[in-house]
Amino acid sequence: MNSQPLHPRFGLILPDVDLREVTADHLYPEIRSAFEIHSALLFPAQSLNDDDHTRLARLFGPLENREAMAAGRDMDFTVSPVSNETGDGVHARDDLHLLNLQANMLWHTDSTFLPVPALVNILTARVVPPKGGETELASTRAAWADMPAALKLALRDAVIWHRLSHSRSRISADLAARPEMTRWPDRPWRAVWPNPVTGDEALFIASHAFAIEGMGHEESRRILDEAIAFCTRPDYVYSHRWQVGDVLIWDERATLHRGRPWDYDLPRSLRSICCSVTAADGLDSVRIV
């Protein structure tokens, strides 16, 4: 496959792949190898509908279905819209739905608050504003390799606790109190995730992280804030300016990401599917038994 660097430290652009043609035996092995090595893949100018999107995602693993997880039973899967659009316009600026989108502008890793975290997010653009609304990725693998020794020592054997309402409380107390933000019990994960294919380590952290086990609140907060600030230095960040049809795929085990603001009077609509981690993806290396 023809490829170009996405960023000097991580990521690839794969301009000649039609993702509608990818199957388990055709192109996916090469895509999965690039995913493990490079952490982020950009496929420009795609034409995925929801069925194509879902079929591609199933190659990476179990589709993340939060409603089924919460209910404890099978439920139909639907592709998640990441959009400020309503049936007849856009959400008001003080609408809780829009505030939740703004919470995604904190540096985060998807699903660290769930019983099983995410392996991958496959995100595609349907409607984009003329400016703003970028998605930014930060390599926690590259940052971990460069991290100062004292900070690295504090995190090497750490267990980090995650809570969805913690990140939402930084945006709005009303948002954080919504039932869908409080239904997940606090979740602990080990702080360092070694890639089971390459052996490369990455820091597993998120805006949902609120405590380090065995540390006081102030010390935990200082270390977590310092670690996220280090991982999101410009040297480790790629900012993607969306074009309709772009598909961006990233490794949730080795990156942070965030959305960027735009004029909220204008529509912006992306479609997202996350897939859950399995044992083959290194789950046992971070899970607390």
- How much is the pTM? 0.95
User: What are the pLDDT digits (tens) for 139-198?
Assistant: 999 999 999 999 999 999 999 999 999 999 999 999 999 998 999 999 999 999 999 999
* Residue 219 tokens, joined: 């010390």
What percent of the chain lies above the pLDDT cut of 90?
Answer: 88
Q: What is the pLDDT of residues 236-258, one digit of tens each?
A: 999 999 999 999 999 999 999 99
Mean pLDDT of the chain, nearest integer = 95
Q: In what order do the strands lie in the sheet with 187-190?
A: 187-190, 159-162, 209-212
Q: How far apart (Å, rounded) are the C-alpha atoms in residues 264 and 102?
A: 10
Q: Is 191 exposed, middle or buried (0-12, 13-18, 19+ CB in 10 A)?
A: buried
The pLDDT value given to residue 211: 98
Spatial separation of the C-alpha atoms in residues 194 and 192, rounded to whole Å: 6
Give the N- to C-terminal CA distance of the chain in Å, as an integer. Answer: 40
Q: What are phi and psi of 209, to 5 degrees?
A: -70, 125
Q: What is the pLDDT of residue 47?
A: 95
52-100 pLDDT per residue, tens: 999 999 999 999 998 888 888 888 999 999 999 987 788 888 788 888 8
Tokens representing 134 are 């970028």
Domains parsed from the chain with CATH numbers: 4-286 (3.60.130.10)
Contact indicator for 80, 235 with CB cutoff of 8 Å: no
pLDDT over 90 (residue 108): yes
- d(Cα 74, Cα 65) in Å, to the nearest integer? 9
